[in-house]
Amino acid sequence: MERTAYHFQPPKNWMNDPNGPLFYKGLYHLFYQYKSQAVVWGKVWGHAVSKDLINWKSLDFAIIPSERYDIKGCWSGSATLLSREKPVILYTGQDNSSRQVQNMVVPKDPSDPDLREWVKIPEIPIIVPENGINGSSFRDPTTAWLGKDGKWRIVVGNKEDRHHNGKALLYISKDFVHWTKKKNPLHSSKKTGMWECPDFYPVAPLGKLGLDTSATGPEIKHVLKVSLDDTRFEYYTVGTYITDIDRYVPDNTSADNKNGLRYDYGKFYGSKTFFDNHKNRRILWGWINESDSVQDDIAKGWSGVQAIPRAIWLDNVSKSQLIQWPVSELESLRGNKIYKENIILKGGSVIEIEGVKAAQVDVEVSFELPSLIDLEKMDANLDAQQLCSQDGAASKAMVGPFGLLVLTSEDLAEQTAIFFRVGLHQHNMKILMCSDQSRSSLKTNVDKTTYGSFVTFSFNKKDVSLRVLVDHSIVESFGEGGKTCITARVYPNLAIGEDAHLYLFNNGVSSVTASKLTAWDMGYAHQP
Ligand code: DQQ
């Protein structure tokens, strides 16, 4: 399997969660869970810097296990800027008795924009699991925010064993070194299991700009995201942070459990955002893990990539979900471009898009919907993922499936289909977005789960849009301007390099028009 061309990927071995992203003295920093000796698990903090979030320079490991409080592993954590010149990192250490404790490092030389060396402070561990907290479910400190009382706050992910309730434990500190646990968590939710990598941040009610993590105000909403260990997917709610009592209350606009909203409905986990004070945006990093077998990972010598960093903001209309879009810097890798208009896709058609290198491409397409009559009734008992999995791209409805076939062999035997289907679900008109991996590879020992979600869509519009980033084994899809995102891993045998093809298709009854299609060959980014 070829390595990726423009996704963040270390030269070899295992990588998982993105850690401690920040912008400092002109450089973006990304740390990551890395296993330097093998492809199977992550324990040190890898470190790379970039001027543009796309091209990276690798640096020495930032944090490695060395003392009793982290000797079994330096796990995930976050960076906070205490002031412009004062970055600090909190991370979870697995100590010599396998307990999870929270630790802190500071730069040896804050004047070094690369922040190459990090020093463990003498007071470590700064937070230990006490008073009934299970030391094996106590990890992943967030970026801190400052309250009006001048005290710092962080959240640590936790599970309360007896009821299997997920919790965001809240800690508070004056000096960032001595921390006290607040009696009540910032938030908790019943029977959700361990909350890994919590993330808590404010979002602006209007526009796409991000806010500093400490921002509060009457118009400002907050987001709480958790990575659920039970499902290995990530869920978030939009709500209100009641600062007087330090509690977060989700708006009742989506479920606060594993039926809730997800950043991504495919492979995307252990994510973290940061406020980019250089361009005033909030950026999301997330880990895309493999779908192949451990044996294949060992054979190829690497496992795990980072998704393209995404700008993330509150949907200004509904104010109840987030929108994500690849950072604009990615566009610097766009090369040769093709543009087409008004391609009519009759029911049953497959039309090749020639002129781009289909294994490494960025495609944006708008589909004009036909008249929405005699729509299929989607099974009301099935959720979006289950509906997408029913025959996948091979299903046939009145409107759809229509979309793109990426990383597809000439004979169509290998294909990954990203598509829409319009129908009635529980009496409402809905657009389903799916990523169907069932025919993505002739190989059998890979996970070919089909992913899907409904897309928020206002039916007074005529066009639905899709953007897909294809990078050899990665297919990152953004529906309707980033309202629904689905990331997949695929490992074609035939559809590789020059033998990969790109098609538009429509398996539905009604014709659909691809009103605009733009595709760019993508170049190679400097890998860390
Ligand atoms: N990965 C880290 C943990 C975190 C998990 C360890 C999530 O800190 O909970 O590599 O993927």
- pLDDT 10s digit of each residue in the chain, 528 long? 689 999 999 999 999 999 999 999 999 999 999 997 765 444 899 999 999 999 999 999 999 999 999 999 999 999 999 999 999 999 999 999 999 999 999 999 999 999 999 999 999 999 999 999 999 999 999 999 999 999 999 999 999 999 999 999 999 999 999 999 999 999 999 999 999 999 999 999 999 999 999 999 999 999 999 999 999 999 999 999 999 999 999 999 999 999 999 999 999 999 999 999 999 999 999 999 999 999 999 999 999 999 999 999 999 999 999 999 999 999 999 999 999 999 999 999 999 999 999 999 999 999 999 999 999 999 999 999 999 999 899 999 999 999 999 999 999 999 999 999 999 999 999 999 999 999 999 999 999 999 999 999 999 999 999 999 999 999 999 999 999 999 999 999 999 999 999 999 999 999 999 999 999 999 999 999
Q: What's the CA-to-centroid distance between 79 and ligand 1, angstroms?
A: 16
Pocket mutation for ligand 1, best pick of 76, 199, 268 (most atoms within 8 Å of C-beta): 76
The CATH number that applies at residue 250 is: 2.115.10.20
Do 297 and 324 share a domain, yes or no?
Answer: yes
Do 157 and 131 share a domain, yes or no?
Answer: yes
Nearest ligand 1 atom to the CA of 229 is 7
Note if 17 is an active site residue: yes
Whether 324 contacts 310, CB under 8 Å: yes
**Residue 162 resides in a domain:** yes
User: Helix (H, G, I), strand (E, B), or coil: what is residue 384?
Assistant: helix
For ligand 1, atom 6: residue with the closest CA: 75
As a whole number of angstroms, the longest Cα–Cα distance in the chain is: 70
**Residue 357 resides in a domain:** yes
- Give the angle subtended at the CA of 167 by the CAs of 449 and 237, to the nearest 5°: 60
**Residue 25 resides in a domain:** yes
Neighbours of 223 (CB within 10 A): 24
For ligand 1, atom 7: residue with the closest CA: 270
Which pLDDT value is given to residue 23? 98
The number of domains in the chain is 2
Closest CA to 418 of 513, 491, 503, 515: 503
Q: What's the CA-to-centroid distance between 102 and ligand 1, angstroms?
A: 13
Do 347 and 307 share a domain, yes or no?
Answer: no
Which pLDDT value is given to residue 37? 74
Q: What's the CA-to-centroid distance between 270 and ligand 1, angstroms?
A: 7
Of 328, 352, 377, the one marking the end of a domain is 328
Nearest ligand 1 atom to the CA of 33 is 10
Q: What's the CA-to-centroid distance between 91 and ligand 1, angstroms?
A: 11
Of 265, 299, 328, the one marking the end of a domain is 328
For ligand 1, atom 11: residue with the closest CA: 270
**Residue 2 resides in a domain:** no
Closest CA to 180 of 134, 241, 246: 246
- Give the angle subtended at the CA of 426 by the CAs of 424 and 432, to the nearest 5°: 50
Do 347 and 291 share a domain, yes or no?
Answer: no
Cα dist from 365 to 75, 342, 503, whole Å: 40, 11, 12
Q: What's the CA-to-centroid distance between 126 and ligand 1, angstroms?
A: 19
How many Å apart are CA 506 and CA 246, to the nearest integer? 51
Do 439 and 304 share a domain, yes or no?
Answer: no
Do 317 and 402 share a domain, yes or no?
Answer: no
Of 328, 351, 371, the one marking the end of a domain is 328
Per DSSP bridges, beta strands 416-425 and 428-436 are antiparallel
Do 124 and 75 share a domain, yes or no?
Answer: yes
Give residue 441's domain range: 334-522
**Residue 140 resides in a domain:** yes
Task: Find the residues whose C-beta lies inside 6 A of ligand 1.
Answer: 16-17, 33, 42, 75-76, 92, 139-140, 196-197, 227, 269-270
**Residue 178 resides in a domain:** yes
Total-model pTM: 0.97
Do 294 and 379 share a domain, yes or no?
Answer: no
Which pLDDT value is given to residue 489? 97
**Residue 152 resides in a domain:** yes
Pocket mutation for ligand 1, best pick of 32, 196, 233 (most atoms within 8 Å of C-beta): 196
For ligand 1, atom 9: residue with the closest CA: 196
3-state DSSP: the chain helix, strand, coil percent, rounded to 5?
Answer: 5, 50, 45
Which pLDDT value is given to residue 39? 54
Do 344 and 319 share a domain, yes or no?
Answer: no
How many Å apart are CA 320 and CA 270, to the nearest integer? 22
**Residue 472 resides in a domain:** yes
Neighbours of 318 (CB within 10 A): 13
Nearest ligand 1 atom to the CA of 41 is 10
Do 49 and 95 share a domain, yes or no?
Answer: yes
Choice among 17, 276, 292, 297 that is catalytic: 17
Which pLDDT value is given to residue 36? 75
Do 432 and 373 share a domain, yes or no?
Answer: yes
How many Å apart are CA 71 and CA 122, to the nearest integer? 16
Do 318 and 394 share a domain, yes or no?
Answer: no
